Structure 1
Amino acid sequence: MRIYLFIAAVAACATYLFTPLIRHLAIRLGAVGQVRKRDVHTIPTPRMGGVAMLCGYVVSMLFASHIPFLKSVFHANAQAWVVLAGGVLICLLGVADDVWDLDWMLKLAGQLLIAVFVAWGGLQIITLPLGTLITASPTLSIAITALLIVVSINAVNFVDGLDGLAAGIVAIGGIAFGIYSYILARTSPSYASLATLIDIAMVGICCGFLLHNWHPAKLFMGDSGSMLLGYLITCASIVMTGRIDPASVHASIYLPAFMPILLPILVLFLPVLDMILAITRRLSKGQSPMHPDRMHLHHRMLRIGHSVQGAVLILWGWAALIAFCSVLLLFYPPVNVLIGFVVAGTLLTIATLYPYFRRRWNEGDFDDADKATITAVAQHMRRRK
């Protein structure tokens, strides 16, 4: 564990140190986010922060490749280098969008090509839980892998609307997934794990970047960063899934074996939900699925009355609740996890809606009976604490 923490620290420090340099480069290249109607920031801010995150990831991987405990991860196969090459390509595509604002169809085509390249390079979902474990054909494996990568990339891209929001959500998901992968890896004779390494390095670059990205942000991660994070967390899950032999896996461990496929969706539940709602909303209005608007979850939080920092912290709380409860299901009875989920979810719901009810209270929208009920519920909650 100490080695993984060291790699996370290297990734965080490298990202933190590279970020000011990338900020100046973004300004020189004209990669500056102007203030648009849908934006929350009020002054033009440089983007392209994903380049600093990529530099931090590359540095951490180079350090890891020279550590004896982790050398087997790099020598067993080429997956670590395939993931790194794909990360460079997806970041460069994001840089092009940060500088020139690419058409969404061109950007989607680029994402798909890179995802297919990574899958063709050996990073594939080989077996599928369809009643029994089914070995997929090479073509189907590449298609499913590419689809999962593209969906995750765009989910993180959709939620990147407030300072620190996307980096925090991905870091939380990476911590949950990293703990899970580390525990599973310890059951093997050599528990060095590429999936854990990718997750820990990803958490490190998120933490290093957050020090510059907290509101008011000095630099936005841009598409180069949001796409990189979505790509890395999905690659880690696919690496963990591995090439499971259908004949050797007992039915009782189907869920643990294929949790890596489900975890990207669960740890990125808020981004995926936001993406689905946005696409549905825009298509129902006859608009392009990539048409910008101010109806994302983070925009709704601000409309309720939260500050930028408050909205980010509450959305981090929801992300942590869903991600960690998903992992805890594998190690604790579902009833216990459900109880914890309900209690924490109730507290988060109150925190989420508090500004809305406070405003209605101050505006006189509640009569005396409503106020008495609300006061009684609040006193009951305080006594339970």
Structure 2
Amino acid sequence: MPYVIPLLTGMLLVLLLIPFIRRYALRTGFVDQPGKRKIHARPVPLLGGVAIYAGIVIPILLYAGWTAQTKTILLGGTALAAIGLIDDSFKTKGKEFPVWPRLLIYLAAAAVPLFFGIEISAIRGLHGMIVFPRAVAWAGTILWMFALPNMINFIDGVDGLASGILTIASAALFFAALWQNQPESAVLAAILFGVCAGFLAYNFYPARIFMGDSGAVFLGYTIAVLAVNGSFKSATVISLLVPVLALGVPILDTVQVFLRRLVRGTGLHRADNLHTHHVLMRWGLSQTQTVAFLYLIEITFTLLALILLLL
């Protein structure tokens, strides 16, 4: 029950809020229009991030307590959700939000965990504990916190992909937190699972609403904090592998896209159609088949992560 109630609260909030948010978005024109790089053929509401934000923050305030982990999410995550919402508003007008202000906010948010003592500081190997130099710990934490929100945003290009991947990943982190006796992280993972599963009901093909940048980066930031303060906190090689494997699909997608962009000589931040879901659809898979295939890959990674944890 300590985990079921937060899970259901987050899920019900999303399920109840989205119909109202969707109608508001359609009425005000806050929609993602079809375009050259877009897969959808009709305008789709782009305010799903608002429901996601409320679905996570309200249960956190009700059930998770005022901890370093929740303070980090509320401060850094709110900043990312806000800048993402501004970015989404630009997109509804066919404009592009400037890169540099967004980059500065992302870096500032990535550094927030350090102010609350959340960092990747050590690892326990075969010959005892290896403590990283402070500069390495800070750099590793900031890199993880900066990269993961962007990775989730990158894969949010097909109906139901990002929300489904995060549903599976948050389930893995929930069981990992239980196994490692981390109730605080388990509550947060349960909330994340409920919100992502609830949103998936509206976001699976054909999507009735998109999470937008605001929802994608906020979810990515939340699960990044959960990983650092949960599995990474245990400081064992196996525990470090759990979130990396559980988030294997967005991580591998980002790596292969960046490698292709480097080979082509295009900017790393430039939007393109090199992501895994684009490639699969060019091979002839439908949206549903593409998502199902990537779900299968994600489930395989997740099961491997849990098996390693149980060994």
Write the distance in 2 (CA, Å) between the matches of 1:255 and 1:143: 19
Q: Deviations over 1:4-36 (max 9, x none)?
A: 122111100001111223324444664321212
Write the distance in 2 (CA, Å) between the matches of 1:141 and 1:28: 47
Match of 2:108 among 106, 113, 120: 113
Cα displacement (A) at 1:129:
5.0
Residue number in structure 2 paired with 1:123: 118
Residue number in structure 1 paired with 2:174: 178
Structure 2 residue 139 is the aligned partner of structure 1 residue 143: yes
Structure 2 residue 290 is the aligned partner of structure 1 residue 291: no
* Aligned amino acid, residue 80 of structure 1: T
Structure 2 residue 98 is the aligned partner of structure 1 residue 103: yes
Write the distance in 1 (CA, Å) between the matches of 2:141 and 2:23: 36
Structure 2 residue 300 is the aligned partner of structure 1 residue 321: yes
Write the distance in 2 (CA, Å) between the matches of 1:327 and 1:242: 15
For structure 2, the 5+ residue unaligned runs are 91-95
After superposition, the Cα gap between the structure-2 partners of 1:88 and 1:160, relative to the gap in structure 1 and judged at 3 Å, is same
Residue number in structure 2 paired with 1:233: 223
After superposition, the Cα gap between the structure-2 partners of 1:243 and 1:206, relative to the gap in structure 1 and judged at 3 Å, is closer
Which structure has the greater CA radius of gyration? 1
Cα displacement (A) at 1:137:
4.4
* Aligned amino acid, residue 58 of structure 1: V
SS of residue in 1 equivalent to 2:3? helix
Contact 2:185 2:230 in 1 (8 A): yes
- What is the alpha-carbon root mean square deviation over aligned residues? 2.2
Contact 2:159 2:203 in 1 (8 A): yes
* Aligned amino acid, residue 216 of structure 1: P
* Aligned amino acid, residue 195 of structure 1: S
User: How many residues align structurally?
Assistant: 305
Contact 2:245 2:302 in 1 (8 A): yes
TM superposition score normalised by structure 1? 0.74
After superposition, the Cα gap between the structure-2 partners of 1:56 and 1:37, relative to the gap in structure 1 and judged at 3 Å, is same
* Aligned amino acid, residue 214 of structure 1: F
Residue number in structure 1 paired with 2:93: none
Match of 1:281 among 253, 260, 263: 260
* Aligned amino acid, residue 90 of structure 1: L
Q: Which stretch shifts more, 146-155 or 127-136?
A: 127-136
SS of residue in 2 equivalent to 1:36? coil
- Give percent identity, aligned residues only: 30
Cα displacement (A) at 1:262:
2.9
Structure 2 residue 30 is the aligned partner of structure 1 residue 10: no
TM superposition score normalised by structure 2? 0.90
SS of residue in 2 equivalent to 1:329? helix
Contact 2:231 2:242 in 1 (8 A): no
SS of residue in 2 equivalent to 1:330? helix
After superposition, the Cα gap between the structure-2 partners of 1:196 and 1:169, relative to the gap in structure 1 and judged at 3 Å, is same
After superposition, the Cα gap between the structure-2 partners of 1:314 and 1:170, relative to the gap in structure 1 and judged at 3 Å, is same
After superposition, the Cα gap between the structure-2 partners of 1:134 and 1:15, relative to the gap in structure 1 and judged at 3 Å, is same
Write the distance in 2 (CA, Å) between the matches of 1:203 and 1:11: 8
Q: Deviations over 1:152-171 (max 9, x none)?
A: 11111111111110000011
Write the distance in 1 (CA, Å) between the matches of 2:100 and 2:20: 31
SS of residue in 2 equivalent to 1:3? coil
Contact 1:29 1:99 in 2 (8 A): no
Q: Deviations over 1:67-100 (max 9, x none)?
A: xxxxxxx36x433222222222211121111112
Q: Deviations over 1:154-197 (max 9, x none)?
A: 11111111111000001101101111111211xxxxx6x22111
Write the distance in 2 (CA, Å) between the matches of 1:154 and 1:126: 23
After superposition, the Cα gap between the structure-2 partners of 1:242 and 1:153, relative to the gap in structure 1 and judged at 3 Å, is closer
Residue number in structure 1 paired with 2:34: 35
Cα displacement (A) at 1:265:
2.2
Q: Deviations over 1:15-60 (max 9, x none)?
A: 1111223324444664321212221101121213111101011221
Cα displacement (A) at 1:236:
0.8
* Aligned amino acid, residue 116 of structure 1: A
Write the distance in 2 (CA, Å) between the matches of 1:83 and 1:124: 14
Contact 1:153 1:229 in 2 (8 A): yes
Match of 1:80 among 66, 70, 76: 70
Match of 2:162 among 166, 184, 209: 166
Cα displacement (A) at 1:132:
4.4
Structure 2 residue 54 is the aligned partner of structure 1 residue 58: no
Write the distance in 1 (CA, Å) between the matches of 2:110 and 2:293: 32
Write the distance in 2 (CA, Å) between the matches of 1:23 and 1:182: 36
Contact 2:69 2:225 in 1 (8 A): no
Residue number in structure 2 paired with 1:368: none
After superposition, the Cα gap between the structure-2 partners of 1:119 and 1:18, relative to the gap in structure 1 and judged at 3 Å, is farther
* Aligned amino acid, residue 110 of structure 2: A
SS of residue in 2 equivalent to 1:294? coil
Q: Which stretch shifts more, 97-106 or 176-185?
A: 97-106
SS of residue in 1 equivalent to 2:178? helix
Cα displacement (A) at 1:127:
1.6
Q: Deviations over 1:199-223 (max 9, x none)?
A: 1111111011111111111111111
